[in-house]
Every structure is written in structure tokens, then in C-alpha cells.
Amino acid sequence: MNQMIAGLLRRHQNFLAGLVALLLTTVFASIAGIYLGSVNEILILIPGLMILVPSSINMRGAIAGILASRLASAMHIGAFDIDYKEGSVLGDNLRATFILTVLIAAIVGLLGYIIGIAAGLDIIPVMDMILISVISGCLAGVIVTLITLIVSLATYRYSVDLDMIGAPTVTTAGDVITLPLLVITAVLVVGLPPSVRYLLLGVVVLLLILSIIGTLKGTDTVQSIIREGLPLLAPLCILGTIAGVVYTEGLEDLVATAALLILIPPFMNGCGAIGGIICSRLATGMHMGSIEPKLIPGREVFSGFGTNYIYTLTILPLMGSIAHYSALLIGLDSPGLLLMVAIATGSGLIVVTGMNLLAYMTASISFTLGYDPDNFGIPVVTSSIDLIGATVLIMMIHLVL
């Protein structure tokens, strides 16, 4: 009986921890949304910049999410220690995280240019796209990784479940930090003389070479993370880039009703954070043996799905409300409070339903094939949310308005 009561109290505590984290991240992600709404003219003046927004934000959150998820699993199985040396769990994960950041940022810039041109969009030169992506990505990556590290060490110190707060925290940090750095970097890069841009391109190439050398000479853990992470994240960048194209093609409508532009970052962040929670819980459960990868999910998995719907019905209406009142506060247009809440909540329920199923399928397949679900769940789910979320959100906007 005492064990049952203790288990219920622990589940209640974990639920509240996740809810508080999601509420806080919703507020902070809305700051990124307000910023996006306020720089709508820059998005139009620098063609191709909006293409980079979803994939840049997503990759920061995905890479940091992998780090948080792996550290959470290490904590649960007793393998975590505060040690930054080469060969340690923490040290190797941090090194692999920076290498992934550099490589993926270059891929995001290149794919943004190629897919943008293929879609027939006006776009800045490929060198500028790569410079903007890598410079902003590395700066944001260092800051977001530092935040992830601080959160991980704090949860370890105070015995809080990192699975419940890691994903919401790092995905929000990715939104709030990456978006301003992306816009500021874009403005600075396009204003530089060609000679300086070529010099910066040389620095970027050097970083890429050092990252490759770091992978080849790294420990088995570093090589394993890169070997599993890079082939997964690189194709997933395509989904985020296509989402950016979808937003770019509808940019004039979004700018005309700027409250909808404000809604994009918190909507993507909130759905991604909820997906990150279930991904981390599934990975940890499979590592510990409490969740078995089966065709029909077990009771514990369905309990996690139910928790996600409660989270969705709590934070999505809040997002719509914040976007509406924020738009009015800074003098931008909004279709109205009820319509904003309906668009956010309706889109969120559709996205979260697909995300629950995708999270379980990804964790089950990767675990069954002998891969670490920590490396696959969050990137697959959050990248899919980029494209699915963009499509559902735009469709819901046209349906409601």
C-alpha cells in the first residue's frame, strides 16, 4: 500500500513538474513569437530567411533534446557523473553535441538554398544562407547547450525527473535564443562586403574540418552519437526546410494578420515540448525494462498519451490568447480571441495525436533494431512537427478564416 501511494505521489509530482515546465516555456516561447511578429518586414526584405526559421529552431531543440534525453537515461540507470573528461558520459555527450551543431547548421543552410530555389522562391546567395545558418547556429548552440547542462545538473542535484522538464526547457531555449540570433546574423551578413563574407566562409570551412577530425578521433561514445545522429538529423532537416517554404509561400497572409505569425514559435515549441516529454519517457522506460516495444502499446504508454492531451488542452488555448493580446499590445492585427484559441487548440489536438503515435513507433523500432531511442525520438518527432504542424496550422487558418 505504501509503495502504491508513493508511486501515485511520484506520478503526480512528475505530472505537475511537466505542466509547470510547459506553462513557463509557453510564456517564454511567446516572447520569440512576439519577436517574430515584430520583425515581419525583415522576413520580407531578406528573401529566404523564413525558410531557415523552422529548421534552425528545430535543430537547436533536437540536438539539445538528444543531450537531455541521453543524460536523463544515464541518471536513471546510475551511469551519470559530473565529469567533463574525455571518455566520461557528460564530457563525450557535450563534445558530440557541438560537432552535431556545426555539421547540421551547414546542412540546414545548404538545404534551405536548394529547396528554396527548387520551389521557385526568390532567395539570397547560397554562401549567405550557409553563413547565416552556421554562425547563428553555433552561437545559439553553445548557449542552449549550456542551459541544457545547467538544467541537467540541477535536476541531478535535487532528484527531479529530467524526462519531465528537459525537453520543454531546451526546446524553449532553442526558440527564444535561436530566432533573434538568426535574424540579427542575417541582417549583419547581408550587409557585409563580399571580401569579409568570403573570410567568414573560410572560418566556417575550418570549423567543418575540425568537426570531422573530432569525430574520427573521438571516443566510441562520440562516434556512436554522431554515427546515429547525423544520418537521422540531416534528412529531418528537409522536413523543417519544407515547412519554412510553406510559411514563406504564405508569408504575406501571415504578415497581414500578424497575431498568426506570433503564434508560430510557441505552437511549434509547445507541440515539440510535449512530444519531447513522451519521447524521453518512452526511451527511459525501454532502457529500464518497464516499457516493452509491442504493436499495441501498453497501459503505461496510453497513460502518457492521456497526459499529453491534458497538457495540450491546457497550454494551447493559452498560446492563442497570448498571441492575440500580444498582437493588440504592439499594434498588430488579430482575427479575434476566440478564433485564435480555436486555431491553436484545434491544430494542436491534431498534431499531438499524430505525434503520440509517431513517438511510440520511433522508440519501438529504434529500440528493437538495437539503436538508442534517446538519439531518435525527439529529433524525429520535433522535425515531423515542423512540417505537419505548419501544414495543419495553415490549413486550420484557411478553414477558420
Residue type, 322: I
Global pTM reads 0.77
Question: pLDDT (tens digit, 9 = 90+) per residue, 48-67?
Answer: 899 999 889 878 877 887 78
Asked if 293 and 367 touch (Cβ cutoff 8 Å), the reply is yes
Question: pLDDT (tens digit, 9 = 90+) per residue, 363-390?
Answer: 888 888 888 787 777 777 877 877 888 8
Q: Which three cell numbers stand for residue 245?
A: 517554404
Write phi, then psi, for 191 (nearest 5 degrees): -95, -5
Report d(CA 299, CA 91) in Å as an integer: 36
Asked if 271 and 352 touch (Cβ cutoff 8 Å), the reply is yes
Per-residue pLDDT averaged across 157-179, rounded?
73
What pLDDT is recorded for position 369? Answer: 86
pLDDT at residue 247 is higher than 60: yes
Report d(CA 268, CA 290) in Å as an integer: 30
User: Environment class of residue 43 by beta-carbon count within 10 Å: exposed (0-12), middle (13-18) or buried (19+)?
Assistant: buried
- CA angle, residues 13, 365, 17, in degrees to nearest 5: 10
Question: pLDDT (tens digit, 9 = 90+) per residue, 100-120?
Answer: 999 999 999 999 999 999 999
Show Cβ contacts of residue 158 under 8 Å, excluding neighbours closer than 6 positions: none
pLDDT at residue 301 is higher than 80: yes
The confidence band for 164, taking pLDDT boundaries of 50, 70 and 90, is low
Asked if 96 and 218 touch (Cβ cutoff 8 Å), the reply is yes
Q: Which three cell numbers stand for residue 225?
A: 552519437
Report d(CA 183, CA 131) in Å as an integer: 12
Q: Which three cell numbers stand for residue 393?
A: 496550422
pLDDT at residue 76 is higher than 70: no
Nearest residue to 222 via CA among 378, 97, 77:
97
